[in-house]
Amino acid sequence: MIKFLVFFTVFSVSVIAFAEDNGTFSLVAENDIFHSDRYYTNGIRASWLSAPNGGNSLARQAAKFFPLFPEEYTVRTTYSFGQSMYTPTSITQENPPEGDRPYAGWLYGSVGLIAEDGRRLDQLELTAGIVGPASLAEETQKTVHKIIGSDDPKGWHNQLKNEPGFILMYQRSWRKLAEKSVFGMPVDFTPHIGGAAGNIFTYANTGFMVRYGQQPDLDYGPPRIQPSMPGSGFFVPEDRFRWYVFTGLDGRAVARNIFIDGNTFCDSVSADKKPFVMDVQFGAVMSWKKYRFGYTQVMRSREFEGQGSRYQSFGAISFSAQM
């Protein structure tokens, strides 16, 4: 746990210290502590988004050969590091019942490209990491629970085994595909479509976001941890205070979810996943000058057979700052 915290801190500080001008640093934290402390129980991710046409030159050159990007666009590169953890229905049982969601952790890094033309945002991201004890999820959860006085999770000896993993993800969002004014403020409709492939997640998704308020120019919603409704650290800062509220939906057809299906190449604890999962979300975003803060409340439908509640509810907090 100490090693993970040191590495995460060094990564975040290094990103800020060596970032070029006009890039954006984002921090996202997702947790269900106020609701259930089970299933998808925690995620944290730090990321750096380069200035327009900045970042890695090789990655920018590669963007020219990706056929799904628009003909005329501004490209940015993004780098991320994060950890996610998943637990069964009750963390106080040493041996959760058969068919319950497995204990699992995911420690990863990502590199990606964002192409934006003013009305459309395309995101391509490659993620690689490790599932299992090497993810340090057990140490993280036990340490945090000890600090806050919460129940000690007792079943981590049943977690998924170590397995390297990757995800190739693509998302497209159409900003303000439809827009009108209500009580003197804009309401806009932003649909999205995309998918992911890999031994960690394989799915196809689609959905939309509806926003009301004083959106900053070229904002596509707050960043989130995938799988989720797409958002981005990308936004254009303005001197005046801006705000908006939003709601939306993301539906996924899921072919692979290692955190429910279990390890790919060996036997492990597993559950029977649902082939379709839906996220309903609502929240608010505030921005001022070079800073943006967002809060999202997510209600996720059942992800596996026998899941006790009809949905899981968790919150997501994001902070972005342009350097």
Q: Report the C-alpha gap between 247 and 232 in whole angstroms.
A: 16
Please give the residue range of the domain that contains residue 131. 2-322
Neighbour tally for 181: CB within 10 Å: 8
Q: Which of 319, 318, 273 is nearest to 39 (CA)?
A: 273
Strands (DSSP E) contained in the chain are 24-31, 39-49, 74-87, 104-116, 120-131, 163-174, 178-182, 185-197, 201-214, 238-257, 276-289, 291-301, 311-322
Q: Average pLDDT for residues 90-99, to the nearest whole number?
A: 90
Q: What is the pLDDT of residue 269?
A: 94
Is the pLDDT assigned to residue 10 strictly greater than 60?
Answer: no
Q: Average pLDDT for residues 176-191, to the nearest whole number?
A: 89
Q: Report the C-alpha gap between 174 and 28 in whole angstroms.
A: 23
pLDDT tens across 261-303, in order?
Answer: 999 999 999 999 999 999 999 999 999 999 999 999 999 999 9
Q: Which of 266, 267, 272 is nearest to 307 (CA)?
A: 272
Element (H, E) at 147: helix 137-148
Q: What is the pTM of this model?
A: 0.89
CATH code for the domain in which residue 225 is found: 2.40.128.140
- Provide Rg for the chain, Cα atoms: 19
Helix (H, G, I), strand (E, B), or coil: what is residue 216?
A: coil
The total number of structural domains that make up the chain: 1
Contacts of 269 (CB under 8 A, 6+ apart): 96, 102, 103, 158, 159, 160, 262
Report yes or no: 197 and 167 within 8 Å, Cβ to Cβ.
yes
Higher model confidence: residue 118 or residue 221?
221
**Range from 64-73, 108-117, 233-242 carrying the lowest mean pLDDT:** 64-73
Peptide bond preceding 227 in cis form (omega within 30 of 0): yes
